[in-house]
Amino acid sequence: MASQSIEIKNLYKIFGPHGERYVDMVANGMTKTELNEKHSHVLGLQDINIHMPAGQIQVVMGLSGSGKSTLIRHINRLIDPTAGEVLYDGVDVCKMKKGALRQFRRHKTAMVFQKFALLPHRTVMENTVFGLEIQGVPAGECERRATRWLDRVGLTGFEDNYPNQLSGGMQQRVGLARALTNDADILLMDEAFSALDPLIRMDMQTVLLDIQKELQKTIVFITHDLDEALRLGDRIAILRDGAVVQQGTGQEIVLNPADEYISSFVKEVNRGRVVKVKTIMTPVASDAGSELISVNENVLLEKAAKTMTDSNQQNALVVDASGNTVGQLDIHDVIAAMVTPVEHEGAEEEASAEAA
């Protein structure tokens, strides 16, 4: 069965004994600070509305205390909402009875934690099959599935080792293999790579992206790191004080930050690894020669620049997925766009509207 999208609608979480009393007050403008000072309740999430596409990686990012970990725990209802809905395949997870919720957690979701959450008294293999054992899957089938995913994450030969015999990166590979072995539709990853050293972290990101090309799971990935968000996320939602400040593709957020808070996140971003060729291409010149190399419209600027310089070409044709020419590229424009803000689509109209 193919993964389904996740729809989060009007979701509020107010921590305290009477959170439901204050939803309307928060909706009408009461701040997180006021709620705490006047009513001794803590605002966790405020009117969250996010469409998480099926088969894609949805990143939720923000600084500590922004509500991102609270949000991901609503998807498998480790936390009950104060108000709102979390819909999967048209069913509101927040209204599931205990039996249905148990089945949903066991068969539809798998979670990868920042602190690995491995059982120290179980071997790598025993940790990996743990979820399947709970489901009642026969031992031989458990081991067959686990062996496949341990091999995919590079742990063949370590099946009989215990967690304390593994490095942090290897322990996280066990956590990922365990989640994949469950074959759940939804993969929830809460700061899954944050405890790893930078090089190991990059390696784990590559492993995840390679596996996702094959599986096309619906993945919700929590991070506080923008570079990680931009590398992994098909879509990104940025939280601040429990509310969504901006959401969209990485390119949309980098090119058109919603406010100064987002601008402070994206100002140091390497645009060459985010902006696509089609964003800066120009109309095809009538004298554009067929001898020009071509690049796909969805290629990132950094890759396009390398392709052009390796070919010693100042210009290139831009083609769509069908090979049709849709534009032209100049190496000088590419280099400029990698280091300076790009005029995003609709910028002139917005400027005119502001002037009016």
Among candidate residues 8, 108, 113, 101, the one with its CA nearest the CA of residue 58:
8
Of 270, 288, 307, the domain-final residue: 270
Q: pLDDT, tens digit, for every residue of 107-142?
A: 899 988 877 788 999 999 999 999 899 888 999 999
The token duo for 220 is 């919700």
pLDDT band for position 264 (cuts 50, 70, 90)? confident
pLDDT band for position 269 (cuts 50, 70, 90)? confident
Give the per-residue pLDDT at 245.
Answer: 95
Same domain assignment for residues 251 and 321 = no
Asked if residue 30 is part of any domain, the answer here is no
pLDDT band for position 339 (cuts 50, 70, 90)? confident
- Is the pTM of the predicted complex or chain greater than 0.75? yes
Same domain assignment for residues 239 and 323 = no
> Helix 168-181 and helix 139-152: axis angle, to 10°?
130
Contact 128, 178 (CB under 8 A): yes
Same domain assignment for residues 196 and 71 = yes
Contact 282, 328 (CB under 8 A): yes
Distance CA 7, CA 40 (A): 30
pLDDT band for position 265 (cuts 50, 70, 90)? confident
Among candidate residues 261, 259, 274, 273, the one with its CA nearest the CA of residue 62:
261
Pairing type for strands 218-223 and 186-190 reads: parallel
Asked if residue 146 is part of any domain, the answer here is yes
Of 270, 292, 314, the domain-final residue: 270
> Helix 198-215 and helix 168-181: axis angle, to 10°?
10
pLDDT band for position 12 (cuts 50, 70, 90)? very high
Contact 45, 11 (CB under 8 A): yes
Percentage of the chain exceeding pLDDT 90: 69
Q: Given phi > 0 = left and psi -120 to 50 = alpha, else beta, which region is 116?
A: left
CATH code for position 179: 3.40.50.300
Please identify which residue in the block is written with the tokens 């179980």: 122
Average pLDDT over residues 94-111: 92
Average pLDDT over residues 53-65: 93
Q: pLDDT, tens digit, for every residue of 192-232?
A: 888 888 888 899 899 999 999 999 999 999 999 999 999 99
Same domain assignment for residues 307 and 205 = no
- With a cut of 50, say whether residue 355 has pLDDT above it: no
Give the per-residue pLDDT at 338.
Answer: 86
- With a cut of 80, say whether residue 285 has pLDDT above it: no
Q: pLDDT, tens digit, for every residue of 14-42?
A: 999 999 999 999 999 999 999 999 999 99
Same domain assignment for residues 171 and 209 = yes
Of 215, 240, 270, the domain-final residue: 270
Same domain assignment for residues 73 and 179 = yes
Same domain assignment for residues 264 and 280 = no
Same domain assignment for residues 175 and 301 = no
Same domain assignment for residues 145 and 259 = yes
Among candidate residues 88, 52, 57, the one with its CA nearest the CA of residue 228:
57
Angle at CA of residue 300, ends 299 and 301, nearest 5° = 120
Distance CA 259, CA 252 (A): 13
Number of domains observed in the structure of the chain: 2
Q: Which structural domain range is residue 278 located in?
A: 272-339
Same domain assignment for residues 125 and 192 = yes
Asked if residue 244 is part of any domain, the answer here is yes
Asked if residue 351 is part of any domain, the answer here is no
- With a cut of 80, say whether residue 170 has pLDDT above it: yes
- With a cut of 50, say whether residue 351 has pLDDT above it: no
Average pLDDT over residues 318-341: 88
Distance CA 100, CA 103 (A): 5
Same domain assignment for residues 109 and 209 = yes
- With a cut of 50, say whether residue 102 has pLDDT above it: yes
Q: What is the mean pLDDT of the chain?
A: 89
> What is the 3-state secondary structure of the chain?
CCCCCEEEEEEEEEECCCHHHHHHHHHCCCCHHHHHHHHCCEEEEEEEEEEECCCCEEEEECCCCCCHHHHHHHHCCCCCCCEEEEEECCEEHHHCCHHHHHHHHHHCEEEECCCCCCCCCCCHHHHHCHHHHHHCCCHHHHHHHHHHHHHHCCCCCCCCCCHHHCCHHHHHHHHHHHHHHCCCCEEEEECCCCCCCHHHHHHHHHHHHHHHHHHCCEEEEEECCHHHHHHHCCEEEEEECCEEEEEECHHHHHHCCCCHHHHHHHCCCCHHHCCEHHHHCECCCCCCCCCCEEEECCCEHHHHHHHHHHCCCCEEEEECCCCCEEEEEEHHHHHHHHHCCCCCCCHHHHHHHHHC
Percentage of the chain exceeding pLDDT 70: 93
